[in-house]
Amino acid sequence: MRASLLQVAVNEGESVESRRRRVAGMVREQAGADLVVLPELWTTGAFAYEGFGREAEPLDGPTHEALAEAASDAGVWLHAGSVPERAPDGTLYNTSLVLSPSGETAAVYRKIHRFGFDKGEAVLMGAGDALVTVRLPHTTLGLATCYDLRFPELFRGLVDAGAETFVVPAGWPERRRSHWTLLARARAVENQAFVLACGTAGTHAGIPQAGHSIVVDPWGEVLAEAGPGEQVLTVDFDPKTVAGTRERFPALKDRVLGLDRPHR
Ligand SMILES: NC(=O)CCC(=O)C(=O)O
């Protein structure tokens, strides 16, 4: 299976409309890949909070329209990263779409863990409440977004729902890059799954982005890692490795369930 992670540069000098056109063009260039992945909130920038309300769109908004066409032109499955979604009741969400090679919406995931503690996304956006997996011809994807990477129980839930390959769009800052790499590898090893983690490059709202998108195999080995700038990271991997690893080293079968409940 071939995946291309598009580590898009998100800088304030470029308008949302121009970035949308540019990214749709980058997706069209990936014909031949099985799956293309975009980062988190790449229209606005994950830290450009003032743009969330201004640029929020419905699920069938301009980003969906541009990318559904691009996915279908390229004939690829597309994890379209996330955009600020305005739901019909007015609530904003950090929402990811997965589009099929014919441009149909195959899955919608609203980020569960919002980043910012008492500001930014944590106060401006609502929280998703549903785990989402998507069956592709070669593998089952489990969806998570950026800060979700710090919450291993979400990934265990996705494994229980059948996930073999986690896709994690992000807008991760350079100052915590060591956490990004460590957490991506940890989620892969503990769940014996592939991790495709796609970040942004550039600087927005004064926050330099880490880049360093990364693909990790179920043994925790890094198959590919990007540099800091805009880059297409293409990797070939065999999703059957997941079943093989889980069979040869069956640690997931030794889980003791219920340890997250209070002691009596
Ligand atoms: N956009 C995010 O979720 C940022 C997460 C982050 O910076 C961190 O977990 O550290």
Note the pLDDT tens digit of each residue in 125-161. 999 999 999 999 999 999 999 999 999 999 999 999 9
> CA 117 to CA 20: how far, in whole Å?
29
Tell me what pLDDT residue 207 has: 98
pLDDT of residue 230: 98
Distance (Å, rounded) from C-alpha 55 to C-alpha 44?
Answer: 7
pLDDT of 102 strictly over 70: yes
* Tens digits of residue pLDDT in 107-119: 999 999 999 999 9
Catalytic site residue from 55, 85, 111, 198: 111
Specify the pTM: 0.98
pLDDT, mean over the chain: 97
Counting ligand 1 atoms within 8 A of each CB, the residue from 172, 200, 209 with the most, and so the one to mutate, is 172
The DSSP symbol for 48 reads -
User: Taking residues 48-61, what's their average pLDDT?
Assistant: 97
Please report which confidence band the pLDDT of residue 264 belongs to, taking 50, 70 and 90 as the band edges.
low
Q: What is the pLDDT of residues 215-257, one digit of tens each?
A: 999 999 999 999 999 999 999 999 999 999 999 999 999 999 9
Among 43, 112, 147, say which to mutate for ligand 1: greatest number of ligand atoms within 8 Å of CB: 147
Mean pLDDT of 18-29: 98
Tens digits of residue pLDDT in 183-198? 999 999 999 999 999 9
Confidence of residue 259 (pLDDT cuts 50, 70, 90): confident
The 10 Å CB-count burial string (b at 16+, else e) for 25-55 is ebbbebeebbbbbbbbbbbbbbbbbebbeeb
253 is catalytic: no
The answer, yes or no, to whether any atom of ligand 1 lies below 6 A from the CB of 10, is: no
Q: Which domains does the chain have, with CATH numbers?
A: 2-252 (3.60.110.10)
Ligand 1 center from residue 170 Cα (angstroms) = 8
- Reading the block at residue 4, the tokens are 């291309």
Q: Where are the beta strands (DSSP E) in the chain?
A: 2-7, 35-37, 77-86, 92-99, 105-110, 133-135, 140-143, 165-169, 194-198, 203-204, 207-208, 214-216, 222-225, 231-236
**Cα separation, 204 vs 10, whole angstroms:** 7
| For ligand 1, mutation pick of 41, 42, 146 (most atoms within 8 Å of CB) | 146
Which atom number of ligand 1 is nearest to the Cα of residue 147?
3
Ligand 1 pocket check for 147: Cβ under 6 Å: yes
Residue bearing the CA closest to ligand 1, atom 3: 147
Q: What is the 3-state secondary structure (H, E, C) of 58-97?
A: CCCCHHHHHHHHHHHHHCCEEEEEEEEEECCCCCEEEEEE
Query: Which ligand 1 atom minimizes the distance to the CA of 146?
Result: 3
- Known catalytic residue at 198: no
What average pLDDT does the segment 55-72 reach?
98
Nearest to 96 by CA among 196, 183, 240, 177: 196
In the block, tokens 């990364």 appear at 214
pLDDT digits (tens, 9 = 90+) for 214-224: 999 999 999 99
